[in-house]
Amino acid sequence: MSITNKITVKRAEIAVAVILALCSIALMIKSSENRITWNAEENMGAGFLPFYLSLGMLICTILTIIKFVLKRSPQSKDDTPFIDAVAFKFIAVTIISLVVLVLAIGYLGIYFSLIFFLAFYLRYFSEKSIAFITIFAITTPILTFLFFEWMLKIPLPQGVSEPLFYPVYDFMYGGFSFAVKMIFIILTVLLPTALVFLTTRFIK
């Protein structure tokens, strides 16, 4: 029996309810670091609202658990797998690659991490050619850069790759005319595309 068959909806329901109950208790404990009392004489303590909100959450999860025990919720009677094996592979790989992506962003910076993320993801899930994947994985970060850094003026994290971008910034904020900049933008998108296209042709 595979893992995905063992995790039934029923088991997932109770496991999640228990985890949420524990989280609610943790929130209550955390809230009580501040004063949780409130009466007419003194103002509401900073912990009052979070404490009672998490108490409410705890009560709701307990009700969900009671409904489960009494078999009143549809999930409590559902023995089908929570997720089928094929979908599990999709979801697991997606989540792991996203976690690796965000880890990599912190170190490598977003643009280079995106190249690896896109290349891996497309190679793994789609049946596209290597040429397509390469073009796609390179142009998407370029477009992201142009959109965020140039149009919106929002700097995205660059990690260790930051020095590589200095010449680009010099160009962006240098005294070049709008037309020159536009030509540069078009070239930055087209050039890698053309290069990859030609290389794959050449290799074939």
Q: For binding to another protein (CB under 8 A), which residues are involved? A: 9, 12-13, 16, 20, 27, 30-31, 34, 38-41, 43-47, 49-50, 53-54, 56-57, 60-61, 63-64, 67, 73-75, 82-83, 86-87, 90-91, 94-95, 98-99, 101-102, 105-106, 110, 114, 117-118, 121-122, 125-126, 128, 136, 140, 144, 147-148, 151-157
Distance CA 130, CA 167 (A): 30
Distance CA 114, CA 101 (A): 7
Decide whether 91 or 160 has the Cβ nearer to another protein: 91
Decide whether 151 or 203 has the Cβ nearer to another protein: 151
Decide whether 94 or 180 has the Cβ nearer to another protein: 94
Collect all residues with Cβ–Cβ distance below 8 Å to 18 and sequence separation of at least 6.
61, 65
Supply the minimum distance, in Å, between the C-beta of residue 127 and another protein.
8
- How many Cα atoms occupy the beta-carbon half-sphere of 72 within 13 Å? 7
DSSP 204: -
Beta bridge partners of 81: 8
Collect all residues with Cβ–Cβ distance below 8 Å to 158 and sequence separation of at least 6.
109, 110, 111, 164, 165
Beta-carbon count within 10 A of 137 CB: 21
Distance CA 39, CA 71 (A): 41
Decide whether 9 or 168 has the Cβ nearer to another protein: 9
Supply the minimum distance, in Å, between the C-beta of residue 192 and another protein.
17
Supply the minimum distance, in Å, between the C-beta of residue 118 and another protein.
5
Decide whether 9 or 185 has the Cβ nearer to another protein: 9
Between the CA atoms of 162, 164, 166 and 171, what dihedral angle is there, to the nearest 10 degrees? Answer: -140
Supply the minimum distance, in Å, between the C-beta of residue 154 and another protein.
5
Supply the minimum distance, in Å, between the C-beta of residue 183 and another protein.
23
Decide whether 96 or 187 has the Cβ nearer to another protein: 96
Residue pair 76/9 in contact by the 8 Å Cβ criterion: no
Supply the minimum distance, in Å, between the C-beta of residue 108 and another protein.
12
